[in-house]
Structure formats: C-alpha cells, structure tokens
Amino acid sequence: MKKSLLFITTDRIGRYLISGLFIFLLGSAGIRAQVNFTQTTDADFLKGALNNAIVSSNNVYLQFAATNVGSWFTTTVIPQTLTGHKTVSWNDKYAYMVGGFNNVNYVNTVYVATIQAGGVTGWTALNPLPVALRDPAVVIGTNTIYVMGGRDGSQIYNTIYYAALNPDGSIGAWQTSAVT
C-alpha cells in the first residue's frame, strides 16, 4: 500500500513538473500575431458613414490631416462662462454646446453656432434639455443629437436624451430614450 501511495505521489509531482515546464517554455517563447487588412476597391470603403474620411484610388485618407496647428485666433465667445459643457459638430457646418456649470448653477442650455472658415457665428439658444447637468457624453448620429448621462450637484444621471437635427441647424423637441 505504501508503494502505491508513493507511486501516485511521484506520478503527480512528475505531471506538475512537466506542466510547469510546458507553461514556462510557452511563456518564454512569446506569442506573436500579425493582422493584415486587405481592401480591394473604393466600393469596399464606401459602405457606411465615413466621418471625414476620403476614399480615393483604393485608399483611405483623413480629410483634415495637417503638419502643424498654425496660429490661434479668437472667434465668437461662448454665451456664458461654463465648465463641464460638451460640444459636438454636425456635417462640418454646425457646432452645438450642451449643458455645463457656471460656478453658480448647473444649466440645461443648448446652443448652436454655424462653423465658418474664420470661426463660428454667434451662438443661438435652442430647446433646453429637460434637466440641468454637466459632463454628459454628447454625440451626433446621422440626423440626431444624443446627450447621455451627466451629473448635477446631487446625482449622476444614466438617462439618454435625443432630438432631431434639422437642416437649418435647429433641433426638435427633446425625447427621453427607453434605453438608459
């Protein structure tokens, strides 16, 4: 009986040593992978939204690639001093500014300005958000603006609000998404 117990113990130790050696060798060899993307024609890239990418001669380029920033200049100032506000652009034509905190109050304001070569036009107030908040995530869909989450002085929100974007830059009424 003692011999079989010793044999089992020795066998088990042997398996551990072999497993450990295998793991050591596998880890020291390193695992490397390479991914190659093959694209055949411009048509392959022209599916879906391009978001400022240019497809030409079977290649994709970023439209606004630049070698340096250049000089900064002042454009139209924002309507009030804010922190925690968010801005997005739509169709390279309109800039939207949403929510924020003005060192006294959280705000529910939504502004739009037209983007021009020399900056933006004056800001115009649009339909206000249903709640005053700062630090939301704001994204633009095809013809919709989404305001997700955010916070005020007492709570953090998980609500998603959305509104239709009109061709003139105005927005429709704010709706609350069923998804949070």
Q: What is the mean pLDDT of the chain?
A: 80
With b meaning 16 or more CB within 10 Å and e meaning fewer, what string describes 92-110? Answer: eebbbbbbbbeeeebbbbb
Return the beta strands (E) in the chain as ranges. 53-56, 59-62, 86-90, 94-101, 106-116, 119-120, 124-125, 137-140, 144-151, 156-164, 175-176
Q: How confident is the model at residue 5 (pLDDT cuts 50, 70, 90)?
A: very low
pLDDT interval class at 113 (50, 70, 90): very high
pLDDT value of position 4 = 47
Its sign, for the CA torsion 100, 103, 107, 112, is: negative
Single out the residue of 160, 109, 116, 106 nearest to residue 137, CA to CA. 160
What b/e sequence results for 123-133 when a residue is b if at least 16 CB atoms lie within 10 Å of its CB, and e otherwise? beebeebebbb
pLDDT, one tens digit per residue, over 22-70 is 555 555 555 555 555 555 566 665 555 556 667 777 666 666 656 677 7
pLDDT of 2 above 90: no
